[in-house]
Homo-oligomer: A and B are copies of this chain.
Amino acid sequence: MSNILVLFDSSTGHTEKMATLVAEGAASVSKTEVRMRHIQEALPQDVIWADGIALGTPTQLGCMSSGMKAWWDEHSRELWSRIDGKIGTAFTSAGSWGGGGELALMNCVSMMMNFGFLVFGTTDYSGPKTSYHYGAVSAGAPQEDAVRDACLQLGQRLSSWVAVYKDGREELHPHHLDRAKRFPHLGTNP
């Protein structure tokens, strides 16, 4: 079994909706147990338990929320060097396109690298003009299909990497996914 933690903060509810989609995508891979935790209820033990972690935060001032940051600052000493090598990714709800979503994701990425995580984004597009190369971004609530698919795919991808890398289930490698489905908007491009 693979253990996946979706750890999120949310103020308007937008990031929580994304978290639900990421969790659904993660659970779509067999032999995967998913925990979804708001930072107000999450325990350091949840991170230790997990093989893969999706970190979700509102984008506030081009950065993760102070609540998310405070959670990691508070538990940093307890967790540091005990969660080395876990697989991580991030998602965020920003107020707007161009408004800091990517920066908030990279803020999560560099924080996870501090703890020794292996962090990923994706090559994929989830719709026209919508990709999630550094994790999933939504401007406002995740309403558009392309954004919702980005969340679903990100969760699935997280479970897949854990399955491939931790459990040796090579058949779940994204290379085996249907290329035309993965890149429908790319035509004959690579």
Question: Given known contacts A69-B69, A102-B101, A139-B129, is B115 in contact with A123 (CB within 8 Å)?
Answer: yes
Instruction: Give the residues in chain B near A61, CB-CB below 8 Å.
Output: 69, 72-73, 76, 110-111, 114-115
**Number of this chain's copies in the complex:** 4
A98 touches B133 (CB 8 A): yes
Cα distance, A116 to B101, chains bound together (Å)? 17
A149: shortest Cβ distance to chain B, in Å?
12
Question: Given known contacts A66-B70, A174-B85, is B100 in contact with A161 (CB within 8 Å)?
Answer: no
Which single member of B84, B96, B116, B133 contacts A62 (CB below 8 Å)? B133
Taking residues whose C-beta sits less than 8 angstroms from the other chain, chain A's interface range is 35 or more
Instruction: Give the residues in chain B near A62, CB-CB below 8 Å.
Output: 107, 110-111, 113-114, 133-134
Determine whether A77 belongs to the interface, using a CB cutoff of 8 Å to chain B.
yes
Instruction: Give the residues in chain B near A110, CB-CB below 8 Å.
Output: 61-63, 100, 103, 106, 133-134
A26: shortest Cβ distance to chain B, in Å?
16
Cα distance, A190 to B82, chains bound together (Å)? 9
A190 touches B78 (CB 8 A): yes
A39: shortest Cβ distance to chain B, in Å?
11
The residue in chain B whose Cβ has the minimal distance to the Cβ of A113 is B121
Determine whether A55 belongs to the interface, using a CB cutoff of 8 Å to chain B.
no
Query: Which A-B residue pairs are the 5 nearest by beta carbons?
Result: A66-B70, A102-B102, A113-B121, A165-B165, A66-B69
